[in-house]
Structure 1
Amino acid sequence: MKLSLILALHNVEGYVADCVRSIIKATDGTDAHGLEVVIVDDASQDRSLEVALDEFAGWGGSVAHIRLDENVGVGGARGRGVALARGRFLWFIDPDDELVPDAIATVIRRLGSASQSTIIEFPVIHRIDELGRTLAFADRSLATVASTRFGSSISGAEYALRLLCRRVPGVLWTKVFPASVLQAHLVSSERHSEDILTLFRILQEDCSVVQFEEVIYRYRDRATSLTRSPNYFLRNAGQYAECVELARSAPWWSPTFDWASDYFLFSRVEMPRMRALARGENEGDFRNEFRRASTAASWRSVWWWLVGAKLPFDRVGILARTFVLAKAVPSSWRLYLLYWRRNAARKG
């Protein structure tokens, strides 16, 4: 078995039929007998599993499924799927998302030369809304194309540094993994941010990543997504600290990379914390947190963010570039407070 697609379902009855139809359509012109779909129903309270199996009826590939009696979360459900899968390569597909019509053929073609230590990735995606309408035909925000060498092998160390700097996707569904890699490192506990924690565990090993420019995935932008929660990053601060510990304990780590781990914690922990405090009435709490964050970041790191790090030119990257001001002028906390309050007001 060459490739296993793993779907972890939980109360997605309204979306999973579209997902399955897109998988079936994506196998047109491909030998489906070399494909396997593994469905894990994570104790859904609706007919998610029944809908998925009805849609797969008559399909030429292999379909395995299991229904869990208790909800174990997406990480736990994926872990059950990995244990059931027989493919040499594994691909997680979120059941509220979709594939483009030639996705399977593209993946199989790209796997032709992949070794058992090579992860392949497709970071350019389509975005769709809750009704399946296209929002962006080629969203490159996950790819940071300026720093991406499509078709070239990237070492695990280099990819980890890009991950710390938010220059590559911290999600699993853009990637196709060798089964042995996931079996050894998948985080299958009941936690949020399983994706990025899994990636840092994998990147401690001797592996490589090859990115390709083809668009194969349609990501559904849902208002109820966990990642859209205003406190999502704050709830996962412990996992992000664990990611940094994993990176710093890797054989390839060097103190010269400290600026990258500092940026990772600034962007995923410190900045969301300050943004949350800016919404409150107590300016003193914001001032104290701002000064603590500016003290925690070293001068070397903030200068590197400004002049040498090639950070993304998104809102987080731009704010990091200005953080040298925070260290040089303690009273600048008022400017940052004003910025975040105005930003919150614009968002309603």
Structure 2
Amino acid sequence: MPRFSLIVPCFQVQGFLRECLDSVLSQSFGDFELIAVDDRSPDGCGAILDEYAARDPRVRALHLPENVGLGRARNAGMPHATGDYLFFLDSDDTLTPGALRAVADRLTEAADPDVLVFDYARTYWWGGTRRNVLAEVLAEAGPDTFTVDTYPRILDLLMVVWNKVYRREFVESEGFAFPPGYYEDTPWTFPVLLSARRIAALDRICLNYRQRRQGSILSTTSRKHFDILDQYERVFAFVEQRPELAHWRPYLHRKMGEHCLDILAKPDRLPPADKAEFFRRTATMFRAHKPADALVDS
């Protein structure tokens, strides 16, 4: 079996897709499979995927019969994965040269942890590049594996799926899957990190996170941003089912409040007419999940 299964969901990214695929196929480390999922994209994504699959046997193109959204497109790719590790790469982002070799070497050094977290850089439409501002979190993690209990600072990093690789057997044994809706990374990343028995860090930029001038889902003004409330309900439900994680409830309660208020504060997220409703629903959920000893009024 290959070392990595890269799962790349594709929807309306024909202008970026070739650069993404080329960044993978040009890696010096070649022991991988690339499972590209055409999420019923109305542009030329499907044809591009078929072209790459025809010329490189490591590429497999899946064409979904209907559009299901980013999270469920990733789910559609997972049953086809045979690699030791799952790597979810968004189709407008790119790997840096040598990234897979560096990740593979670190996995070997760490004796195959459940999760490996690596660094990234934001690349902007105007040509600028900026490294993750919390890069020191990875540097300070050290060479040994850890859990969120022994190194909780790992949770300070962006709660996204694409700055990590995941041992496939760990994911399958825990039954992790992506829910529908916006912010689908939240109810994946928290449960995965809270459940992992061995996490390792790699202090190296392995991915370029594209910052588009326009067209990003999360920068689109829409009521779909209310989805964040359902996603945190899924996180709390996960913790509720696992008493050993109960001590994380105060942290998650605070994180939920901060995240929702951040969405509310951004001018391009919620329609102005919906902001009051979003605040009320956030306050209701904040009270509903308040830990017994939390210093907030009910």
TM-score w.r.t. the length of structure 2 is 0.80
Deviation at 1:155, TM superposition (A): 0.9
Name the CA shift for 1:228/1:150 in 2 (closer, same or farther; >3 Å): farther
Superposed CA offset, 1:112-164 (max 9, x none): 14455521010x31211247x3331x2234x46399414332214456x557x
User: Over aligned residues, Cα RMSD in angstroms?
Assistant: 3.7
Superposed CA offset, 1:10-50 (max 9, x none): 1211110111121123x23x3x2x22111111111111132
Spell out structure 1 runs of 4+ moving beyond 6 A.
278-281, 284-299
Tell me the equivalent position of 2:36. 39
Letter in 2 for 1:245: A
Name the CA shift for 1:295/1:271 in 2 (closer, same or farther; >3 Å): farther
Superposed CA offset, 1:182-227 (max 9, x none): 3343324432222221223334535221111111100011232222
Q: Residue 78 of structure 1 is aligned with which of 54, 74, 80? A: 74
Name the CA distance, whole Å, in 1 between partners of 2:283 and 2:121: 40
Name the CA shift for 1:134/1:23 in 2 (closer, same or farther; >3 Å): farther
Superposed CA offset, 1:78-113 (max 9, x none): 112111111111101101001111111111111214
Tell me the equivalent position of 1:176. 165
Name the CA distance, whole Å, in 1 between partners of 2:23 and 2:266: 39
Q: Match of 2:250, SS?
A: helix
Q: Match of 2:83, SS?
A: coil
Q: Which runs of 5+ in 1 are unaligned?
A: 303-323, 328-348
Letter in 2 for 1:135: T
Task: Decide which moves more: 263-272 or 293-302.
Answer: 293-302
- The answer to whether the aligner puts 1:238 opposite 2:227 as a matched pair is no
Deviation at 1:240, TM superposition (A): 1.1
Deviation at 1:261, TM superposition (A): 2.4
Name the CA shift for 1:232/1:218 in 2 (closer, same or farther; >3 Å): farther
Tell me the equivalent position of 2:99. 103
Larger Rg: 1
Contact 1:157 1:252 in 2 (8 A): no
Deviation at 1:180, TM superposition (A): 1.7
Q: Which runs of 5+ in 2 are unaligned?
A: none
Contact 1:75 1:194 in 2 (8 A): yes
Name the CA shift for 1:192/1:150 in 2 (closer, same or farther; >3 Å): farther
Q: Match of 1:40, SS?
A: strand
- Which structure shows the bigger proportion of residues in helix conformation? 1
Tell me the equivalent position of 1:22. 23
Contact 2:114 2:170 in 1 (8 A): no
Q: Residue 91 of structure 1 is aligned with which of 66, 87, 90? A: 87
Name the CA distance, whole Å, in 2 between partners of 1:291 and 1:105: 46
Deviation at 1:267, TM superposition (A): 0.7
Contact 2:139 2:203 in 1 (8 A): no
Name the CA shift for 1:57/1:241 in 2 (closer, same or farther; >3 Å): same
Name the CA shift for 1:81/1:280 in 2 (closer, same or farther; >3 Å): closer
Q: Match of 2:97, SS?
A: coil
Tell me the equivalent position of 1:154. 146
Name the CA distance, whole Å, in 1 between partners of 2:169 and 2:94: 26
Name the CA shift for 1:233/1:260 in 2 (closer, same or farther; >3 Å): farther
Q: Residue 205 of structure 2 is aligned with which of 215, 219, 226? A: 215
Q: Match of 1:236, SS?
A: helix
Alignment of 1:1-348 (within 5 A): 1-25=2-26, 27-28=27-28, 30=29, 32=30, 34-55=31-52, 58-59=55-56, 62-115=58-111, 118-122=114-118, 124-130=119-125, 133-136=127-130, 138-141=131-134, 143=135, 145=137, 148-157=140-149, 162=153, 167-183=156-172, 184-203=174-193, 205-222=195-212, 223-229=214-220, 233-255=225-247, 257-270=248-261, 272-273=263-264, 301=294
Deviation at 1:254, TM superposition (A): 4.2
Superposed CA offset, 1:248-306 (max 9, x none): 44343345x44312211211235645778x9969xx9999899989988679645xxxx
Contact 2:115 2:196 in 1 (8 A): no
Identity %: 22
Contact 1:19 1:99 in 2 (8 A): yes
Q: Match of 2:253, SS?
A: helix
Q: Match of 1:241, SS?
A: helix
Superposed CA offset, 1:50-82 (max 9, x none): 2244356644x6122211111111122111211
Letter in 1 for 2:105: R
TM-score w.r.t. the length of structure 1 is 0.70
